[in-house]
Amino acid sequence: MQKSALLKNYNRYPIEFERGNGFFLYDTTGKEYIDFYCGIAVTSFGHNHPTLKAAAIEQINKLWHTSNLFSSSLQESLANKLAGKSGMDYVFFSNSGTEANEAAIKFARKWGNGKSHIISTHGSFHGRSYGSLSATGQYKFWNGFQPLVPGFSHVPYGSLSAIANAITDETTAVIVESIQGEGGVNEPPENYLKGLRDLCSEKNILLIVDEIQTGIGRTGKFYSYQHENIIPDIVSSAKGLANGIPLGATLCSKEVAAVIKPGDHGSTFGGNPVAVAVANKVVELLDDAALDGITSIGNIFMNGLHGLHHSSIKNIRGKGLIIGVEFSDAVQSKQVAAQMLEEGFVVGTAGEHVLRILPPFIITQNEIAKFLLTLKKVISNL
């Protein structure tokens, strides 16, 4: 076999997808799969979406790169749309979730005017670059890469008192996911974000909400913090924003924006015209009816999972179309995901015992019913 020069930093399945349409994926042997993972919460409107494809092709034919040295009405339009949807005032565009968080961390420190301490949570995932990795509260991602960026501390997720106790005179911000995705689809107690909002306002520190996995409609609200009717100071967004074309966004309040001057931060590729043209359409597609649809199909899915009543299932959690199924200790989620793949369903994991399900918003009851039957069969046969 020919030696592969591809770096071995991923554990890849020996399956290659070459084509996708809607919620279907096809591998190089022609086998059909139903996509319940969307990349990892990325292709939320499915593959080969006619409106999104047309927007990309139109922009490719016009112009696919300039630089951020010139005006961009496409970026202006998307920034205004995101500001309108989120309650934030300004938007910076990058290329990924990691970069969106990197900008969030830099903005928080600039706003802190010398205060540099940022509080994050155990089990969180914020990215792989040094700032976002230092914010990430999981040792397995740090191992081999220390020392990290100083100034971060990590406290239990879901505990307001833990955050309150960690605040010092040096603290500039708290960063949290509204639901921890990679960490196991962990939902905090109700009103956690509301409590954090109050706490951060009282202590005059910033609340950064990482909506990279939960945002752009995934939980049935445009951003998940809207379930608790709060407005953060900084929001990081990516993944589903351009339905698979790389795009990150860091949204911030006018108070934060006021400290960012030309030259403080930037990106050669950030806010690429093709990505932004597609994202403008994604945001248009994600109207109130679409959000309601995500909530109702998510509820149908949840009810179906609860109806499985299988002894291997320990817990089912999530909101809208981000769902975690936690198995008993004897069941390895990777084994379930591999078996599901064999059966033609693409699904992911979050930790050793949690199956992570991130279906496209266009999924129907019919596919969900097939998924549930197959999941029951797979876990019964383990």
| Binding-site string for ligand PLP from residue 87 to residue 106, where x marks contact by CB under 6 A and - marks none | ---------xxx--x-----
User: Per CB under 6 A, which region of 206-214, 281-289, 343-351, 360-368 contacts ligand PLP?
Assistant: 206-214
Query: Using a CB cutoff of 8 Å and minimum separation of 24, what contacts does 16-25 make?
Result: 19/47, 20/46, 20/47, 20/48, 21/46, 21/47, 21/48, 22/46, 22/47, 22/48, 22/49, 22/360, 22/362, 23/47, 23/359, 23/360, 23/362, 23/363, 23/367, 25/346
Query: Are the beta carbons of 230 and 197 closer than 8 angstroms?
Result: yes
Residue 174 near ligand PLP by CB under 6 A: no
Question: Looking at beta carbons only, is 103 or 331 nearer to ligand PLP?
Answer: 103
* Binding residue (CB under 6 A) for ligand PLP from 23, 45, 107, 125: 125
Edge to edge, the sheet with strand 32-35 lists: 17-21, 24-27, 32-35, 345-346
Q: C-beta of 90: minimal distance to ligand PLP in Å?
A: 20
Which are the contacts of 81, defined by CB distance < 8 A and separation ≥ 6?
Answer: 280, 283, 284
Query: Are the beta carbons of 325 and 305 closer than 8 angstroms?
Result: yes
Question: Looking at beta carbons only, is 43 or 312 nearer to ligand PLP?
Answer: 43
* Binding residue (CB under 6 A) for ligand PLP from 187, 210, 233, 367: 210
Count residues near ligand PLP (CB under 6 A). 15
Query: Are the beta carbons of 334 and 356 closer than 8 angstroms?
Result: no
* Binding residue (CB under 6 A) for ligand PLP from 182, 187, 233, 326: 182
Q: Which of 179, 174, 207, 182 is nearest to 125 (CA)?
A: 182
Q: Which of 85, 45, 53 is nearest to 285 (CA)?
A: 45
* Binding residue (CB under 6 A) for ligand PLP from 46, 123, 137, 181: 181
Residues 15-44 that bind ligand PLP (CB under 6 A): 40
Q: C-beta of 92: minimal distance to ligand PLP in Å?
A: 15
Residues 221-250 that bind ligand PLP (CB under 6 A): 238
Question: Looking at beta carbons only, is 187 or 210 nearer to ligand PLP?
Answer: 210
Which residue lies nearest ligand PLP, judged by its C-beta? 97
| Binding-site string for ligand PLP from residue 314 to residue 353, where x marks contact by CB under 6 A and - marks none | ----------------------------------------
| Residues forming the site for ligand PLP (CB under 6 A) | 40, 96-98, 101, 125-127, 177, 181-182, 210, 212-213, 238
